[in-house]
Structures are given as structure tokens and as C-alpha cells.
Structure 1
Amino acid sequence: MTATTIEAPRSPSRPAKSRGVNWEKWGWIYMRASGVVLIVLIFGHLFFNLMLGDGISAIDFGFVGGKLADPFWQWWDVAMLWLALIHGGNGMRTLINDYATLRMTRGVLKTAVLAAVVVLIVLGTLVVFTFDPCPAGQPADLLPALCAAR
């Protein structure tokens, strides 16, 4: 009897060539890291808004205006916005790669997801950093009551 060596199934006959950055690996790592950071950001957001102070009954235009006037909360909200949108966009990209069979369809869908993510990030960031509850030059009867204190 002679011993025969059988190669393990699906093992490559030669090692795979390195083709630069492994985007799938970094996307996978990003999803895990951003998920952990998002849990902290979201639960911090919910705790501050719902548990501290008067709870949900205190959330109104003035509360949001006050929060968006504080640079700490501006950056908190922008970090949450960016991480959530990129996390969701990357998840959608993965779903498109898994279920869209035609190359053209995958390209169109991924372009649409990218466009939506970019537009929402730009608009959301602009809102957070340019929000002014009391714009100058507006009639006093159209402004919220908190603006009378200025």
C-alpha cells in the first residue's frame, strides 16, 4: 500500500496575489467599530434627552435649539449622523453586492446609495452647524418665545 496525500478541499494551488488595499476587510472592520461607537452615541443621546431633566415633555423647539447651540452637542450629533449614514450605506452596499445579479444593476444601485449618503451627510452637517433658532431680521411674531430673551 502506498500513502496518498489528498489536498484539502478548496485550497488554492498557489497563494492569492496581493492587489493593494483589501476594502472588504476594512469595510467589515468599520461596521464592527462604528456599531460599537454608535451604541455609545445613541444611548448617550437618548439618556440625555429622555432621562435627565424633565424627560420627553421638555423636548421642544427651544430644547433642540439650545442643544444645537452647544459645540459639544453639535459634534456629538454630527458624529452620530456621519457614523450612522456611512454604516447604513455600507450595509446597503453589502446587500446590493449579495442580491443584485447584473453588474449594471449593482453599479446603478450602489451609485444611488452613495449619492443619498453624501447628500444626507452634507445637508445634516449644514443643519447642525448653521441652525439658528432666532434668525436676524425676522418679524418678532414669527419667532419662537425663546428669542425674546435675546
Structure 2
Amino acid sequence: MTADTLAAPRAPHRAPRKGVNLEKWGWIYMRVSGVLLVVLILTHLMVNLVLPENGVHALNFAFVTGKFSTPFWQWWDVLMLWLALIHGGNGMRTIINDYVHNQKVRTTLVAVVWIVVAFMVLGGTWVVFSFDPCFDGLGNPFQHEAGSMLAEMCAAQ
């Protein structure tokens, strides 16, 4: 029997390999993270776009600054970021495994996917936790209007 054919339905069952079944845990992760992401994203959209008084028009730099000043929303966004990027990376790994038949190319592509996911997770996490609305170094493009709440807050620091 070659690798491209299926065993007959009544063929003797092969004993499972020893160790952790990464495919099974990847499959479980996709289901659990998918459900969590639906809850996280729908809540994110409600809080950002539906519940504010002006709806989507309330979404601006000050709104984001207010959310990122709260550890709860920082962790909410980081959890959403991690789950979404790992979910997407695992999905890409599955697609590569299904359609790329050359073992070296498949291994290389999967490694590239996980490297990109790792950089994006680290970069996004760094941005969320190091966000500073008052940063004025290196030519900050956000000029604080005199009399604005953000300008007053940054001047008080």
C-alpha cells in the first residue's frame, strides 16, 4: 500500500505512535480558539462601534488611548491578537500540509509561517503594552491641539 491510497475499511488497525499527537491538539485548538475568538471579536465590535454614543464616529485616537490605558482592555486585545494569529498560523500550516507535496518545501513554508506569526505576536504585544499617547520623540505625527484633553493630560506628566 502506498501513501496515496487509503486502507481498506476492514484492514487491521495500526497501533498509534507513542508521544503527543500534535495534529489532534491542533484540531482541538482550532475549535476552542474559534469559539473564543467569536466572543472576543463580537464584544470588541460592540464596545468599539455600537455602544459609544456616536457609534463608529466616536472611534478616534483619544478613544483608543482611553482603552489602552486600562489593563483589562490591553489584555483583552492581546488575547484576541494571540488567539487570532496562532489560529491563522495553524490554518496556514494545515493548508500547506494538504497542498505541498515536497517535504523540504513543506517544512520550509511551515517554518516561515511560524516565524512570521512569532514576529507578529511579539510586535503586537509590544505595541499594546508600550503604547504611549504622549510620545513626542522622533517627530510624532500626532500634534496635540491646545486645550484638548490629551494635550492637558500629556502636559501634566
Please state which band the TM-score falls in when normalised by the shorter chain.
0.7 to 0.9
What's the offset of the Cα at 1:65? Answer: 1.0
Contact 1:34 1:87 in 2 (8 A): yes
Could you say which residue in structure 2 is the equivalent of 1:79?
Answer: 79
Write the deviation string for residues 53-98 of structure 1: whole angstroms up to 9, x where unpaired.
2211011111111111111100000000000000000000000000
Could you say which residue in structure 1 is the equivalent of 2:51?
Answer: 52
| Corresponding letter in the other structure for 2:132 | D
Q: Which runs of 4+ in 1 moved over 2 A?
A: 8-15, 135-147
Higher mean C-alpha displacement, 100-109 vs 133-142? 133-142
Stretches of structure 1 lacking an aligned partner (at least 5 in a row)? 1-7
1:91-130 alignment, distance < 5 Å: 91-130=91-130
Q: Give the direction of change, closer, same or farther, for the CA distance of 1:69–1:87 in structure 2 (3 Å limit).
A: same
Aligned pair count reads 143
Return the TM-score normalized by structure 2: 0.83
1: CA distance between counterparts of 2:140 and 2:22? 53
Candidates 147, 150, 154, aligned match of 1:147: 150
2: CA distance between counterparts of 1:132 and 1:38? 27
Backbone CA RMSD of aligned residues:
2.3
Write the deviation string for residues 29-62 of structure 1: whole angstroms up to 9, x where unpaired.
0000000000000000000001112211011111
Q: Identity of paired residues, percent?
A: 52
Stretches of structure 2 lacking an aligned partner (at least 5 in a row)? 1-6
Could you say which residue in structure 1 is the equivalent of 2:31?
Answer: 32
2:13 is equivalent to residue 10 of structure 1: no
Contact 1:133 1:144 in 2 (8 A): no
Looking at CA atoms only, which structure, 1 or 2, has the larger radius of gyration?
1
SS at match of 2:19: coil
Could you say which residue in structure 2 is the equivalent of 1:4?
Answer: none
Contact 1:134 1:143 in 2 (8 A): no
Return the TM-score normalized by structure 1: 0.86
What's the offset of the Cα at 1:104? Answer: 0.8
Q: Give the direction of change, closer, same or farther, for the CA distance of 1:55–1:112 in structure 2 (3 Å limit).
A: same
Contact 2:49 2:55 in 1 (8 A): yes
